[in-house]
Amino acid sequence: MSILSVGPLYPEPVLLVEGKSKTEDKKFIVAADLHIGSETYGVKNEVNFNPEILSQNINDRLLRLVKSSNADGIILLGDLKSNISGITRLERHSISMVLSSLSRNTEVYLIPGNHDSFIKYIASDTVNLISPSGMVVGDTLFLHGHTMPSTLRSSVSRIIMGHVHPVFLKPNNIVSGQRIWVYLKVSKQAVFPASDGLLQIVIMPSFYIGTPPIHRHNQRRVVSPIVDRIVKDRAIKEMLCLTLDGSIVADLSSEDDITL
């Protein structure tokens, strides 16, 4: 595959990417940061969720997207699970169910994130478990975003990542607290030091099933070395932020309203 076309699939926080491989078109659904098992934290705070319903909801929504778009597979950009240091009983059950169901119906590519410790013990043999360094499809690198990409990937013209959970924050604004898409054009040298030109970066909103999007007004910022590098180097040339329905809420002149 060479150049990919990329676009969101409203109302879901997912991308449809498409490109030509030899003589045929290939399509993939891309989702990031499902955090299956996060309902455990709700239970601890006396908020009860039904994990069976939530897991089935994840499964049904993703399969519905595959069917409606006639996609050839699903790419999961990490943080499939919620617990960082281990695997809870709930995660083992729910994630195994979802991955088994998805892989029976389509190709599944899983790129581990920082929450995905021991994920190999949950993922079935039918899931394509990719290195945390990501995978290249055509001109695009797919990765979670919690590590810097290898210089071996410097030929790409686009990075699609999750991890950051971008949220629009502006007091008294009707969309404040909502998840957003962030599209960046940056100096490629900031990410790949020996490279010239521009690099497109797409930061995906979190998928989150079982808990609402996190409003991180008073929470510690999720750190991405990629984002930190481009901000530190003042490498951002263009920025556009959109809500899930495609409304433009910010650009480079209003970057203080965005949490990255």
CATH (one of 3.60.21, 2.40.10, 3.30.9, 3.30.70) for 5-259 = 3.60.21
Describe the crossing of helices 89-105 and 51-69 by its angle, rounded to 10 degrees. Answer: 20
pTM exceeding 0.85? yes
Q: How many CB atoms lie within 10 A of CB 205?
A: 26
* Tokens read off for 190: 């900031």
Strand partners, 73: 28, 107
Place of tokens 């003589």: 23
Domain ranges of the chain: 5-259
Place of tokens 């990075």: 159
Cα 166 from Cα 228, distance rounded (Å): 14
Tens of pLDDT along the chain (260 residues)?
578 899 999 999 999 999 976 667 899 999 999 998 875 544 444 445 666 788 888 899 999 999 999 999 999 999 999 888 888 888 888 999 999 999 999 999 999 999 999 999 988 889 999 999 999 999 999 999 999 999 999 999 999 999 999 988 888 888 888 899 999 999 999 999 999 999 999 999 999 743 444 444 444 566 899 999 999 999 999 999 999 999 999 888 766 555 55
Going along the chain, which residue ranges are E strands?
Answer: 5-8, 15-21, 24-31, 73-76, 107-110, 128-129, 135-137, 140-142, 158-161, 167-168, 180-187, 198-203, 236-243, 248-251, 258-259
Place of tokens 């239970």: 43
